[in-house]
Structure 1
Amino acid sequence: MEIVTNEKSVSKPESGWAKERNSVSLPEVYKSVSIPKKGSFLRKLLAFAGPGYLVAVGYMDPGNWATSLAGGSAFSYSLLSVILISNLMAILLQALSARLGIATGRDLAQACRDHFSKPVNFSLWILCELAIAACDLAEVIGSAIALQLLFGLPLLAGVLITSLDVMLVLLLQNKGFRYIEAIVIAFIATIMVCFGIEMFLSKPDIAAVVGGFVPSAEIVKNPEMLYIALGILGATVMPHNLYLHSSIVQTRHYEETTEGKRSAIKFATIDSTVALMLALFVNAAILILAAAAFHTTGHTEVAEIQDAHQLLTPLLGTGLASILFAVALLASGQNSTLTGTLAGQIVMEGFLNIRLKPWIRRLITRLIAIIPAVIVIAIYGEKGSGDLLILSQVILSLQLSFAVIPLVMFTSDKKKMGPFVAPKWMGVSAWVVAVIIAVLNAYLLYGTIF
């Protein structure tokens, strides 16, 4: 296995940072997308558009589907408010992630390597690798389920086929970063069209949908509802997305001046906010579909993706509903695999300052996900796939605070951020979110185990 140390010198130590920034993040695409110095607001916004959509992929991956299906089938539209609150938290944290990357020229992993000791960094790296593997596990199983639903392939065969998508990732990476962004946006558009049609076919109660976005005290009072709500929250914010976003915003060739960075932060924040609102639509649509198709017809215990697929055709009266559901699931799984590769590269280079060849890095990540999937499906059959999806979300929940807390620490530190330190309202809000996420994920983990 060839390991290459990344030693490109790019700057001297800035005030507040302990070490020299001796490497750039994702060097093969660093500053590769040009930004017009002059032009309209829209032209500049389009130049910055892209990274936010790669981030949004993690908020609509197959791991989120089970919680939204369970919430909608069991409690109708009541948990839409939880999806909305989770999304607002995500918008805040991703805005901080973009701010860190642009202001300091460091991704979150590089910032951690500078600030923490070697043992702490190694521990954070291991935790992040586990989170990426868990997310990849959800993508593998989601894609395999979609292939089974569309073409009747055995689940085990679908899992093995998904290992071949490494070639797609490498091909796109060689062509340029804009190609990766384009395919991701195309997949997101596919998912949105599928669920747009699904919502039309399911004819949801519009008044009830609007009411569902208003938080209710019943969520806290009802233990079962609270548990699913915590699952939705815990599965929404993806820890590796914080590392990913702080790196890929640096693919833009903005001016390295105070005004240039300030403008880049503004446009990157708009980009991620718009993209995450689209993710909100997808997650809400899954829950609305489950509420309209399942809850109203008495099917209140639908949580498995396969069960939802089987019930859609008889309940909505058309085979198109089931096909669109499976197509959206396949697009979701394939989309997430692109961003998982990049995140793995970022955290390895950032925490350890070493680089693996892209195909080796991708193969390692995918094997870590495929091996447990193959073993569980071979022993327990298809029922085990649902349990694996739940396990992947628990692992993600465990790691989340270890990414959120350093991010909030760094972006609230004036010595590290200089004139780009997060505004006080933003910093306070982020600390509140960090505490809420830590407490709720601990509760979710306790409930899952006991």
Structure 2
Amino acid sequence: MNPPSEAVAASPPSLPEVHRSVAVPNSAGFLRKLFAFMGPGYLVAVGYMDPGNWATALAGGSAFGYTLLSVALLSSLMAILLQALCARIGIATGRDLAQLCRERFPKPIAYPLWFLAEIAICATDLAELIGTAIALELLFGIPLIFGVLLTALDAFLILWLQNKGVRWLEALIFGFIMLIFGCFAVQIVLSDPVWGDVLRGYVPSSSIVTDQTQLYIAMGILGATVMPHNLYLHTAVVQSRAWQDDEAGKKEAIRFATIDSTLALALALLVNSAILITAAAIFHTTGNTEVAEIQDAYQLMTPLLGGTLAATLFAVALLLCGVNATVTATLSGQVVMEGFLRFRLSPVLRRLVTRLIAIVPAVIVTWYYGASGTAQLLILSQVILSMQLPFAVIPLMMFASDKGRLGALAAPRWQLVLGWASAALIVALNLKVLGDALLGD
């Protein structure tokens, strides 16, 4: 592997507050080592079950039944592969994706990539802030505009937890994920789906490509699943582990980090599938095919299922998803800002700046739209994420394919082939959606 340049050597580590802060027992058995590496995958996984996912899954499930489960499955498989490559380049190079873009691309390319990454983070935060505010309104009657403002408090939650150690932050996130999974397990039991139809929904249908509305929502599911900021985040948080800094230690770290992210994203797939299955079983099968607003879904659950338990669990899960996802989106903002710009702020100021970037448009939107129209806005934010994906995935694949720099830690050929195929598919679908929008077909 080529030696680092002076600029690379002088550049600070990614997420310096937690860099190599978690010890890895060198002489321990498989399970103890796996436990030491488990955590970063769950920080990444929460981005795959945020309120933006809810909007696309509710719209897709109510309108098309179980058909779009195949899109959720394909998106999750792509995410598992891309996140494995993220872990590999983060461990092999000691750099996050933003730092690599800054160091290896000329400024006319690096700065537009930074700008597009910031747009993706704003779109993500917008969805998460609005989703959290909706949950606060449903559970406690807090008006949307005040709910959005309250979400700024998560910045201080991050500071407090990071000061205690990244393992505390990971533990909180994992606990929330398990609670979310439990809420949806109960909802699926109450909604009683036809499991044969559910399984058939995982088989791809040609109507997804030929039907413009299905394709639009499918792109929203893709953008809500394979989120650009998660690629930046994973390359950074994986470096919180203090593995042995030699070739054998890095290979072992890559293996355990890949297991961690794969297990976490498999759990995220179950949650996303549960949202869509619940929407299809409760709404599509009863003729309610235009349920896209989260508030409408909440209101309809009680009369359709004959009790308030499902609706309450729905709102609780939404709140947990929103808090979880805003925490990790803020960390992504730190990674992108510091990696691309090498612009460092005090932790408090940095958190407030990244949160302010999202809160201002969220306040404006909720003030203008109120409770109505939020579903269309949430779906649009996820489609925007899908449009930004190539600008993160293609650089990732370029770095993962650089055998001259990765040397013995280079990705196997099958991962590179599937990774580039995923990138090509994302670009092709984006061009299809843009073409449909421009031609009005």
Normalised TM-score (structure 1): 0.94
Q: Does 1:271 align with 2:260?
A: yes
Distance in 2, Cα, partners of 1:41 & 1:371: 47
Distance in 2, Cα, partners of 1:89 & 1:430: 8
Distance in 2, Cα, partners of 1:353 & 1:235: 28
Q: Cα–Cα, structure 1 residues 447 and 236, in superposed 2: closer, same or farther, change >3 Å?
A: farther
Q: Does 1:331 align with 2:320?
A: yes
Distance in 1, Cα, partners of 2:130 & 2:437: 20
Q: Please list, as runs of the form range in 1=range in 2, the aligned pairs for 1:91-102 lying within 5 A after superposition.
A: 91-102=80-91
Aligned equivalent of 2:39, options 30, 50, 67: 50
Q: Does 1:129 align with 2:121?
A: no
Quote the residue 1:201 is aligned against.
190
* 1:448 Cα deviation after fit: 5.8
Quote the residue 1:21 is aligned against.
9
Contact persistence 1:134–1:396 (CA under 8 A): yes
Distance in 1, Cα, partners of 2:53 & 2:44: 14
Q: Please list, as runs of the form range in 1=range in 2, the aligned pairs for 1:94-113 lying within 5 A after superposition.
A: 94-113=83-102
Unpaired stretches in structure 1, ≥5 consecutive residues: 1-12
The alignment partner of 1:39 has SS state of coil
Q: Does 1:147 align with 2:141?
A: no
Counterpart AA for 1:424: R
Quote the residue 2:282 is aligned against.
293
Contact persistence 2:87–2:235 (CA under 8 A): yes
Contact persistence 2:216–2:383 (CA under 8 A): no
Q: Does 1:303 align with 2:303?
A: no
Distance in 2, Cα, partners of 1:95 & 1:406: 15
Q: Does 1:389 align with 2:371?
A: no
Contact persistence 2:222–2:386 (CA under 8 A): no
Counterpart AA for 1:316: L
* 1:392 Cα deviation after fit: 2.0
Distance in 2, Cα, partners of 1:441 & 1:271: 30
* 1:235 Cα deviation after fit: 2.2
Quote the residue 2:206 is aligned against.
217
* 1:390 Cα deviation after fit: 2.8
Quote the residue 2:330 is aligned against.
341
Counterpart AA for 1:311: L
* 1:443 Cα deviation after fit: 2.9
Quote the residue 1:416 is aligned against.
405
Contact persistence 1:84–1:213 (CA under 8 A): yes
Q: Please list, as runs of the form range in 1=range in 2, the aligned pairs for 1:186-197 lying within 5 A after superposition.
A: 186-197=175-186
* 1:20 Cα deviation after fit: 3.0
Identity of aligned residues (%): 62
Quote the residue 2:354 is aligned against.
365
Q: Cα–Cα, structure 1 residues 70 and 388, in superposed 2: closer, same or farther, change >3 Å?
A: closer
Distance in 1, Cα, partners of 2:220 & 2:128: 18
Distance in 2, Cα, partners of 1:144 & 1:236: 21
Counting matched residue pairs gives 438
Unpaired stretches in structure 2, ≥5 consecutive residues: none
Q: Does 1:374 align with 2:363?
A: yes
Contact persistence 1:192–1:282 (CA under 8 A): yes
* 1:227 Cα deviation after fit: 2.8
Q: Does 1:235 align with 2:195?
A: no
Counterpart AA for 1:114: E
Cα deviation digits, residues 344-369 of structure 1 (max 9, x gap): 11111111222111221221222222
Counterpart AA for 1:364: V
Q: Cα–Cα, structure 1 residues 442 and 349, in superposed 2: closer, same or farther, change >3 Å?
A: same
Counterpart AA for 1:297: T
Aligned equivalent of 1:429, options 418, 425, 428: 418
- 16-25 or 329-338, larger mean C-alpha shift: 16-25
Counterpart AA for 2:9: R
How large is the RMSD of aligned CA atoms in angstroms?
1.6
- 13-22 or 72-81, larger mean C-alpha shift: 13-22
Distance in 2, Cα, partners of 1:248 & 1:28: 11
Quote the residue 1:86 is aligned against.
75
Quote the residue 1:167 is aligned against.
156
The alignment partner of 1:383 has SS state of coil
The alignment partner of 1:89 has SS state of helix
Contact persistence 1:394–1:445 (CA under 8 A): no
- 108-117 or 439-448, larger mean C-alpha shift: 439-448
* 1:71 Cα deviation after fit: 1.1
Cα deviation digits, residues 353-410 of structure 1 (max 9, x gap): 2211122122122222221222222233222433432332233222211110000001
Aligned equivalent of 2:51, options 52, 62, 69: 62
Cα deviation digits, residues 63-119 of structure 1 (max 9, x gap): 111111111111111111111000000001000000000011111111111111123
Aligned equivalent of 2:165, options 173, 176, 179: 176
Distance in 2, Cα, partners of 1:403 & 1:318: 44
The alignment partner of 2:49 has SS state of coil
* 1:219 Cα deviation after fit: 2.6
Distance in 2, Cα, partners of 1:170 & 1:57: 18
The alignment partner of 2:103 has SS state of helix
Contact persistence 1:234–1:397 (CA under 8 A): yes
Q: Cα–Cα, structure 1 residues 186 and 448, in superposed 2: closer, same or farther, change >3 Å?
A: farther
Counterpart AA for 2:61: G
The alignment partner of 2:139 has SS state of helix
Counterpart AA for 1:426: Q
Distance in 2, Cα, partners of 1:317 & 1:307: 16
Counterpart AA for 2:412: P
Q: Cα–Cα, structure 1 residues 226 and 397, in superposed 2: closer, same or farther, change >3 Å?
A: closer
Distance in 1, Cα, partners of 2:84 & 2:376: 33
Q: Cα–Cα, structure 1 residues 301 and 93, in superposed 2: closer, same or farther, change >3 Å?
A: same
Cα deviation digits, residues 238-292 of structure 1 (max 9, x gap): 1011111011111001001111000000000000000000000011000100111
Contact persistence 2:334–2:354 (CA under 8 A): no
